[in-house]
Amino acid sequence: MPDKKKFNLEYEIKSSPRILYSFISEPNGLSQWFADDVNVRDQIYTFTWDDEQQRAKLVNAKENKLVRFKWLDDEPYYFELEVVQDELTNDVALAITDFATEDSIAERRLIWDNQIDYLISVLGA
């Protein structure tokens, strides 16, 4: 299996940290933009896209700040969504940490771009 490299993305999102956090941490929030369907049981989130399912464990959560999900079938990789608020301007951004193989980073970035577009439209931001 080729090694994956960590990459970071950041998107400005016009939303309050509290509302944005509900969309990155709650199954009904996540299912509106991140996956077609999201179920959670005992901190294990099952994400469904079309007919594909992937399971991840919520390994870190700080209220209104960040969530980190660790893939159960793709150890040791994880993805993290962090709500970042600028202290001076109060602008809110979503910072994403993810992993991909060297030759699939561009594709992963496009997928995130599309997913964040969905999120922004759902938020009406």
- In percent, the amount of the chain with pLDDT more than 90 equals 94
pLDDT above 80 for 48: yes
Tens of pLDDT, residues 17-42: 999 999 999 999 999 999 999 999 99
Which pTM value belongs to this model?
Answer: 0.93
pLDDT above 70 for 125: no
pLDDT above 90 for 1: no
Sign of CA dihedral 77, 106, 30, 1: negative
CATH topology of domain 4-123: Alpha-D-Glucose-1,6-Bisphosphate; Chain A, domain 4 (3.30.530)
Q: How far is CA 100 from CA 44, 63, 113, 119, 122, in A?
A: 22, 27, 15, 22, 26
Domain locations in the chain? Answer: 4-123
Q: How far does Cα 94 stand from its chain's mean position?
A: 9
